Amino acid sequence: MRYLISGGIVLAGLAVVAGASVLQAAILLVLLPFRNARIRSCIVFERIVGHACTRLAGARIELVGSEHLDSSRPAIYVVNHTSMLDLFITLRYMPYGCVGVVKKEVIFYPFFGQLYLLTGHLRVDRGRHAAAVASMRSLGELVRRAKLSIFLSPEGTRARDGRLLPFKRGMAHLAIQTGLPIVPMVIHGAHRVLRSDSLSVRGGAIRVEVLPAMSTTHWTTDRTDEATEEVHRVFREHLSEDQRPIPPVAS
């Protein structure tokens, strides 16, 4: 029964995304020659889809640290990734003028993926290091020129058990190229509301904790491992025990 109900919720969510996508696609086609305008025009679509889909999933979201979501100050917003619901939580709270960085497979998401191609946001082929680095460099140039913010999930994939995965170094490279601070957005409990391996929607409480901006002015290209670990440590310290990485077993 839960699966049937959840399936109906998922279909309702797709209907919301489809309807909003048609309207947003029309706007984006008009703005096709203007990438910066396309990125900034998406804020209404993002709010509608983010709010609708999280509500349909029965997510009761507590936002802590909203003062750190500052549209007037470009930053790199970094989010942990345990559920497909994370995407819609991020859309719900994404500051104005924020460009996304997601894996290339997003184009296979019904409606949303096809619309994403029109937005001007960036897709990264994480399976090819050289291509990913080139994409990050291109994004860095766009961000500096248009004074945009960035949001990304440095794990690169969803954690099946809700536990924090290692971060990829692309986040550090972007921060060094743009000079932007890092703003951690720690999502607690999304994996229990919508599991990564199922369409079963359970509903429940999710806490989104936005932390103060971290300066990246001391980061250098020869120390990206240390920079990446610095941010990973902040997430480990704020996540509950059941979402922290399992410590390696001593041999």
DSSP 35-80: HHHHHHHTHHHHHHHHHHHHHHTTEEEEEE-GGG--TTS--EEEE-
**Each residue's pLDDT expressed in tens, for the chain with a length of 251 residues:** 344 445 566 666 667 777 777 777 888 888 888 877 888 878 778 888 888 888 888 889 999 999 999 988 899 999 999 888 888 899 899 888 888 877 777 777 776 677 777 777 777 766 666 666 666 777 777 788 888 898 889 997 888 788 999 999 889 988 998 889 999 999 999 988 887 666 667 778 999 999 999 999 999 989 999 999 999 999 999 999 999 998 776 55
β-partners of residue 214 are 182
List the Cα angle 243/244/246 in 5-degree steps. Answer: 115
State the Cα–Cα distance between residues 203 and 192, nearest whole angstrom: 8
Task: Give the C-alpha separation, 115 to 36, whole Å.
Answer: 16
Listed by start position, the domains of the chain span 2-243
pTM: 0.83
- Pair 206, 64: CB distance under 8 Å: no
Within 13 Å of residue 64, how many CA atoms lie on the same side as its CB? 11
Which uninterrupted H or E stretch holds 137?
helix 129-146
- CATH class, domain 2-243, is alpha beta
